[in-house]
Structure formats: structure tokens, C-alpha cells
A and B are shown apart, each in its own frame.
Chain A
Amino acid sequence: MTLDVSRREFLRVSATAAGGMLIAFRVPAAPATPTPPEPEFAPNAFVRIAADGRVTVIINKAEMGQGICTSLSMVLAEELDADWSRIGFEFAPVDPVYAHPGFGIQMTGGSTSTMGMTEPMRQAGAVARAMLVTAAARRWGVPEADCATAGGAVAHPRSGRRAGYGELAAAAARLPVPDGVPLKPAAQWKLIGRPTPRLDTRAKVEGSAVFSIDVNLPGMLTALVAHPPTFTGRARRIRDAAARAVPGVVDVVDVGSGVAVLAKGFWPAKLGRDRLEVEWDLGEAATLSSEALRQHYRELAGRPGLVAHKAGDVDAALAAGRVLRADYEVPYLAHAPMEPLNCVVDLRADSCEIWAGSQFQTVDHAAAAAAAGLPGAKVKLHTTFLGGGFGRRANPASDYIVEAVKIAKAAKAPVKMIWTRTDDLRAGYYRPMWHSRVAAACDEAGAITGWRHTIVGQSIIAGTPFEPMMIKDGIDSTSVEGAADLAYAIPNVLVDLHTTKVPVPTLWWRSVGHSHTAFVVESFLDEIAAATRQDPLALRRRLLQGKDRLLGVLELAAAKSGWSTPAPAGRARGLAVHPSFNSFVAVVLEVSLERGWPRVHRATLAVDCGRTINPGTVTAQLEGAVGFALSTALYSAITLADGQVEQSNFHDYRMLRLHEMPAVDVHVVPSEAQPTGIGEPGVPPVAPALCNALFRLTGRRIRRLPIRREDLA
């Protein structure tokens, strides 16, 4: 591919979806991708059209199941008037041109991909289309205005001429990139909003989709790492003779974060690691225990914290009204993606290639370069499919990437580092453990006059490069989101925060702060409804007047679930509604007890996530969110004893199984608003809806997750 200098100029587009900021994207000077075998038309960094008409969309996001490859391809193809059957995609190399329009780095998170990238991808498609039209019009000597596009071809209806995009690609590639190309009006959309099969399904069904664990290189060694038993541990003494004696074991190296066994394959590496004897310095974390932390947090919750939100005079309201109080607790949680963390590194004297299911390309690339001791330009990061992410593969510390590069440095051969399931569960970077103390005052009519919420837990942002952006006046916005911005109309509110310092690494985990705040807010609101003998729906309705989108999903879920009718015998319904990631989700769960344990029969969800690009994806994300959140509410906890994580595999870090999955009905509020988040917003309201249903069923209020059998009896 040759590019003339004029087309390297910056192309500016107004990304209204990203808060109206101007973003710039330029034609990358042939970014890390190899030269294509034949000339392709590459008007910008997001699309290439080959001479045979194949269209390749460049995806700057991690595909971890959310369907983003398809959604972004759809919006680009829409403006391009492409033939959908000729669309393919590939993952972008690391380049500033692929940065997140809001966060300024190449990353996937915060349920922002559709919101941030829809307009740039439409623009990219529209520019390509305009250039193809110009090329055709010049070839035929006709006005551009008389040309039309559809199905991957330009036509001139008056003369009956028609040329496929592939035929025009070479000519279009010689044209200057136009500015200010108009986008299609929504009324002309053929793809956006139409249920469209995912582009990655077939490969995933046939087993040919490449995750980083599937990457093989000639001469590659497999590395397993013995990590210290605590988060502050280091190897003091290593006895590796027995490990090295295992046939196939090639080397044993201490890389600081652990001791790696390098071998010709997973199994010898595993056998070698099993035979490794390491004496560890355990460090300060050796005394940590979840029980002691719980007591410490409970004590902190009784003291005033840093104020995150204040309205009116909550003390006066609590002094005057009828007061309800409660404490809520949630544990550390592991992301536990089905593909355990792994990374492939080919480190040479003056180059480094990495294959990883990264959600955080800019950060991982820079960390890898630093670990390799190479300038960034010498480091190439290939993003593969992710066998689940949920935030774990977006780590500001790039822990597993750095570890793999360090191992490769010692190995002097290409390396695939694989964490076993146990390694993955015990390696830290958890959703923090949280304690919430809430109090509410009500008047005689049942109106809530005061609301106080004290939150205790670790900051996931402190100490990361995101601190200046996300911590203001000592408040980590991700600690209090969903609580400090309480949607309910209550005159006197105080939300305060104790940020604890505990040597347990923490990280964002699908729905981040909302994963604990929604549980507290939506459960406690139900407690208030019960104590004041109000219907939970009626109380919420009363407190959400004017919040039309939130009210909209609440009413829709209530209506579709049959909220106003009695639940079937032996069952009860629970309701919760929560805004997050600029979207709105309400959930009604229908629940019974079977042999003393919750059985969720039916989940009815209503969502308002703005305009829907691919309706099937929206439904899928909410179906999945129900199961993901039920796993958490019913089973998941990472606990510590003597500084060590107690869980080791799926038997003690349980996942919901198929037979436990409820039927899920998803109802989408039609909207022409800009698309907003869908990967995460389904998660927060599920746990409180479950506990609210269980309260109606048993009269017992669950204030601690995961649910324990004794809390129900």
C-alpha cells in the first residue's frame, strides 16, 4: 500500500457522541499491519477495500463477547453502503489513531465502545463512500450527484453503469480525503437497528477463533509461574533441582512477581512447577484475613468519612423522622474469565511481538516496552479475541503482560505464559470488598426525608495513572458511583466514603462501583417500602418523578413481568432499577426456594440504552448480565486467611450453571437518543432484585453477599 503525503493529513470529525469533543483521526502511516498482497483502498485507519471488493473493518476495541466487532462493522458498513456479505474485520494494531475518543488511550471499558465509536466509524464509512463515488463519477464523466451507492457498488442510474467498490478501489486510493462528508439521515438506515448475525459466531462455533492461548510460534516454550502465596510475597530461596529434572523442563527463572518454570509444553511446565520448592518472604499481607477486614470496615462505617455528596441537612432529618438503619457487605470478587490470563511473547534483541487478549492496548504496549527495555516503536502488540474480560484484561499495572515479557527476557525463546485457573483466581486485582452503612428517615406519610450512606472500601484508582482524572478531593468516583448520584428525589442526603489501604490489588470488575452501590440502594429502598407498607414499585415511582428514562424502564419491566398480579404459588417477585453507564435498566425476578436455596424462574428486564445498533447484542448482553450477576449474588467470594486466597477453582468459586439459569425476557425502550452502555448496566440491579424477591418470600432480608443458606432459613 502506498500513501501520498496529502492523505496523511489529519481528518477531523466531530464526535458528538463523546461529549462534543473534537477527535482527530488520520490515515496511519501503514500501522503495524503488514503490507497487503495487493493494493487496497485505505482512506482512513478504520477501513480497507481490496480490489476484489472485500471490505475489512479495523476494530480498535477488544472483542470479549460484547459483539463490538459486529456493531462497529455495521455502522461503518451502513455509511459505506457496503455489501454486508463482503465485510470482514481485524483487530487494530496499537496506534494513537485508535485511541478511545474520551479517554485518550486505546482501550475497551466503561461500556463506552458503541457510544464513543459509532460516530467515528460512521464518518470513516462515509468518507470511503464519498471517495468511491468521486472515483466512479470521474471515470464515467458524470456528476457525482447523479451517482448512487448500494450493496458495495456505485451506480449511475441514467446510463445504467455500475461499478463494484473493488473495481474503484485503486482509483479512489489516488484521491484526496474529503472533509465534512455528510452522514446518512436515520430514515435511510438499512443496517443500523436491524438484527444482524455476529461476524465472529462461526469461528467461535467451529473452534477456529484465535484467543491468545491459541497462538503458537516455532520453538515456543510454555511458562507456568509459581506466585507468592501473599500479595506482598517474594521468593527468598528457590530449590529447583527436582523441577529441572522433569523431562521437558528447560529453565527456572525468578522474575520478581513469581518463579517461572519454562518447558516444552504445558504439562512438563506443570510437573516442574509442582516439584519446585520455594521459600517465600510473605511480607505485610501475611496477616490479612477477610474476617478481620470485615470487623475493621464495620468499625470505620461508624465514623464520618470524606463527603462524596451532600444535600440539605441529613442529621436534622434523621433526628426528626422514623429511622431505619442497616449494614450491607460484599466480598472481593475475581473476574474469572473462562480463558485464564495468558500471554505470548516473542522477544528478540531489537524487537518484541506480543499476543494478548488486551483491553488496554496503549498501557500494555508501554508496559511491555519498558519491561523489554525497547523503545515503543520496536514493540508490536497483537490483540486477539478475549475469552472473557470483565475488566481484568484492562489493568493499569499490566501485571500479566509484564510478567510474560520478563519471562521471555530470561527464556531467550518465544514464550507462552499460561496461568492455571488457580493462578488466575489467586493473582489479585479483584472487585474490592465493600461495607455500606445506610440510614433513612421517613415521615408519617412514608415519604423519605433523609438518606445517609457511608461507604468503606479500597480505591481501584489510587496509585494508577488515572488518579488525576478520576479522584477528586480524595473521592474515587468509582467507589461511590450509583450512590453519590442517587437518582431518587430525597431532600436530605449525605454520602461519605472511607478509602481503605489494604495490600490486596483491586480493579474494575463488570459494572465497577455500581456492582455494590446498586445492591445497597435498591435493597434498602425495599426495606423502607416494607417498613412503611408501600408497594416497592409505587415508592420508586413516587421518588423518580421527572426521571423519565428511569421511570420508563421501571414501568415497562413492571408491566411485562405482571408485577400487579399475584406471583404463581410458592414464588415471589423482586424489583430493582438502576442507571449506569448512561443507560437505564429495570429487572423483575420471579423466585422460589427449592430445598432451601433460591431458584430464579424468570427474569424480566427493560432497558433504555438509546438507539440500538444490533438488537440481538443488546438482548444477549442483558441475558448474560443476569447469569453473571446471579453467579455473584449466589456463590462468588474471594476470601483471605493468613494473607492467602482461599479459593482455588470453580468448585469453591462457583459459577451459575445452565440448570440454574432463568428464562430471560428483555424489553428494549425504542429510542433515538445516542447509543449508551450495554455491557455492564444489566449487572447492578440483578442482585437487589433477587434479595428483594427473597424478602417477600421468606421475610428475611439479605444484607450480605453471596447469599448463605442460613440467611434464608
Chain B
Amino acid sequence: MITLEVNGRSVVVDVDPGTPLLWVLRENLQLMGTKYGCGAAQCGSCTVHVDGNAVRSCVLPVSAAAGKKVTTIEGLTEPSGAALKQAWIELDVPQCGYCQTGQIMSAAILLRQKRQPSDADIDACMGGNVCRCATYVRIRGAIHRAAALARGGAR
């Protein structure tokens, strides 16, 4: 039995402790917004937050998240998260959409660290998230837009 806190809720799961967090989220907790893309921390589709850090959940054993706070896209309710979602919608970022929740989870960490990220900050933070549709132009635009929204500078 492993106890963790997911999206503010304490949950207990009965799985092999080596099971990657990704599959616990998707199969045990039915949180399907976190995606499987590579299984090797190479694409970022499975990005979630563990104790405030961006983590590739496809390679993190659930035992390593025991007792920690896990946030998925479904629980990304902090103001900068809401700003990111709004910006993503304003700019119509997704195409196929599969990688986008992971992109947003990575961007959320960036906005927590930098209120006004530069292009270089975005480059440095987002390099681990692949988008096969190559929506990168809009992802960059949406991060800048979200930063402005979060600073209260709508419009």
C-alpha cells in the first residue's frame, strides 16, 4: 500500500512499488489527462508535478512519490495554471493535442519560477517536451501570454 496526495486528495494504492506513477494516475486513479508517449522520459507527455517539481511520471516509480504531493493537469488550479490554460485556449495551441497537457505542466513550473520568462527561459524549460505536430510557435506565444495574464496584464 502506497499513500500519496494527488490533486489535494489523499489516496492509497495497492500496486507494485516499481510501477511508474503514470500508470497509477491513469489506471488506478482514472486521471487520463496525463499521457503515455515514450516510457523513457524523452517526450514529456507524462509531465506532472511532484512536490512542486516537473517530473516525467513514466519513469518515476510510484514508491518515490509516496507521501508527496502530486499535481496533474486535472488539478492544476493555481492562478498561473489557469492563466496557462486560458492562454492555450486564446492562441488555439493544440493540434492533435496529445502532448499539450504535458507542455502545460512544464510551462507551469516555468511560470512559478519566472514571472516574465524570456524566450531563452522558455527554450531552456520546454526542451524536454516533444510536439510531433510542432505547435511550438504557439506554445511559446501562449507562455508569454499566460505570463502577462498571470501578472494581471490581460490585453
Q: Which residues of A contact B (CB under 8 A)?
A: 64-67, 197-198, 200-211, 213-214, 216, 222, 247-248, 265-268, 271, 336-340, 385-390, 418, 420-421, 616, 620-621, 623-628, 630-631, 649-651, 655-659, 661, 663-664
**B147 part of interface (Cβ distance < 8 Å):** no
Q: Is the CB of A197 within 8 A of B92?
A: yes
Q: Is the CB of B73 within 8 A of A207?
A: yes
Q: How far is the CB of A196 from chain B (nearest CB, A)?
A: 9
Additional A-B contacts beyond A216-B30, A658-B126 (13; CB < 8 A): A205-B93, A208-B32, A209-B97, A213-B35, A216-B32, A337-B98, A338-B132, A339-B96, A385-B96, A388-B133, A420-B39, A623-B135, A650-B40
Chain A positions within 8 Å of B122 at CB level? 658
Q: How far is the CB of B84 from chain A (nearest CB, A)?
A: 8
| Residues of B within 8 A of A (CB-CB), count | 56
Task: Report which of B16, B73, B95 forms a contact with A620, defined as CB distance below 8 A.
Answer: B95
Q: Is the CB of B98 within 8 A of A211?
A: yes
Cβ-closest chain A residue relative to B20: A267
Given A266-B23, A620-B135, A649-B40; A387-B94 close (CB under 8 Å): no
Top-6 shortest CB links A-B: A207-B33, A627-B134, A204-B97, A65-B95, A387-B98, A65-B96
Interface residues of B in 84-100 (CB under 8 A from A): 85, 88-89, 92-100
Given A216-B30, A338-B35; A658-B97 close (CB under 8 Å): no
Number of A-B residue pairs with CB-CB distance less than 8 Å in the complex they form: 189
Given A336-B132, A623-B137, A623-B138; A65-B40 close (CB under 8 Å): no
12 contacts between A and B (CB under 8 A): A65-B97, A201-B93, A201-B94, A214-B32, A387-B96, A387-B99, A421-B42, A620-B135, A657-B127, A658-B122, A658-B140, A661-B134
Interface residues of B in 123-154 (CB under 8 A from A): 123-124, 126-127, 129-140
Q: Which residues of B contact A (CB under 8 A)?
A: 15-16, 18-20, 23, 26-27, 30-40, 42-43, 45, 72-74, 85, 88-89, 92-101, 104, 122-124, 126-127, 129-140
Q: How far is the CB of B72 from chain A (nearest CB, A)?
A: 7
Most A Cβ at <10 Å: residue of B99, B131, B138: B131
Chain A positions within 8 Å of B30 at CB level? 216
Chain A positions within 8 Å of B19 at CB level? 265, 267
Docked CA distance A67–B94 (Å): 9
Q: Is the CB of B96 within 8 A of A207?
A: no
Q: Is the CB of B97 within 8 A of A387?
A: yes
Chain A positions within 8 Å of B88 at CB level? 201, 205
Q: Is the CB of A208 within 8 A of B96?
A: no
Q: Is the CB of A627 within 8 A of B96?
A: no
Q: Is the CB of A628 within 8 A of B127?
A: no
Q: Is the CB of B96 within 8 A of A388?
A: yes
Q: Is the CB of B73 within 8 A of A206?
A: yes
Given A198-B92, A205-B94, A207-B72; A265-B27 close (CB under 8 Å): yes
Given A268-B16, A421-B38, A658-B126; A204-B32 close (CB under 8 Å): no
Q: Is the CB of B98 within 8 A of A338?
A: yes
Cβ-closest chain B residue relative to A220: B27
Given A628-B133, A658-B129; A67-B43 close (CB under 8 Å): no
Task: Report which of A340, A387, A421, A626 forms a contact with B134, defined as CB distance below 8 A.
Answer: A626
Chain B positions within 8 Å of A625 at CB level? 134
Cβ-closest chain A residue relative to B42: A650
Q: Is the CB of A207 within 8 A of B32?
A: yes
Docked CA distance A420–B26 (Å): 16
Chain A positions within 8 Å of B34 at CB level? 207
Cβ-closest chain B residue relative to A623: B137
Chain B positions within 8 Å of A627 at CB level? 131, 133-136
Q: Is the CB of B96 within 8 A of A650?
A: no
Q: Is the CB of B95 within 8 A of A656?
A: no
Q: Is the CB of B20 within 8 A of A388?
A: no
Q: How far is the CB of B39 from chain A (nearest CB, A)?
A: 6
Cβ-closest chain A residue relative to B123: A659
Docked CA distance A266–B89 (Å): 32
Q: Is the CB of B130 within 8 A of A655?
A: yes
Q: How far is the CB of A622 from chain B (nearest CB, A)?
A: 10
Given A387-B35, A658-B129; A651-B42 close (CB under 8 Å): yes
Q: Is the CB of B104 within 8 A of A266?
A: no
Cβ-closest chain A residue relative to B106: A658
Chain B positions within 8 Å of A421 at CB level? 37-40, 42-43
Q: How far is the CB of B45 from chain A (nearest CB, A)?
A: 6
Task: Report which of A66, A214, A631, A655 forms a contact with B95, defined as CB distance below 8 A.
Answer: A66
Chain A positions within 8 Å of B33 at CB level? 206-208
Cβ-closest chain A residue relative to B122: A658
Q: Is the CB of A338 within 8 A of B131?
A: yes
Task: Report which of A247, A621, A658 forms a contact with B123, defined as CB distance below 8 A.
Answer: A658
Task: Report which of B20, B42, B95, B133 forms a contact with A649, defined as CB distance below 8 A.
Answer: B42
Given A207-B73, A387-B97, A650-B38; A624-B89 close (CB under 8 Å): no
Docked CA distance A448–B138 (Å): 42
Q: Is the CB of B126 within 8 A of A624?
A: no
Chain A positions within 8 Å of B85 at CB level? 205-206
Docked CA distance A205–B83 (Å): 12
Chain A positions within 8 Å of B100 at CB level? 204-205
Task: Report which of A206, A210, A624, A631 forms a contact with B135, defined as CB distance below 8 A.
Answer: A624
Task: Report which of B42, B97, B131, B133 forms a contact with A200, defined as CB distance below 8 A.
Answer: B97
Docked CA distance A664–B137 (Å): 7
Cβ-closest chain B residue relative to A338: B98
Q: How far is the CB of B41 from chain A (nearest CB, A)?
A: 10
Q: How far is the CB of A700 from chain B (nearest CB, A)?
A: 26
Docked CA distance A630–B18 (Å): 37
Chain A positions within 8 Å of B98 at CB level? 211, 337-339, 387-388
Q: How far is the CB of A615 from chain B (nearest CB, A)?
A: 11
Q: How far is the CB of A154 from chain B (nearest CB, A)?
A: 32
Given A211-B98, A623-B138, A661-B136; A205-B104 close (CB under 8 Å): yes
Most B Cβ at <10 Å: residue of A198, A388, A621, A658: A658
Chain A positions within 8 Å of B129 at CB level? 658
Q: How far is the CB of B109 from chain A (nearest CB, A)?
A: 15
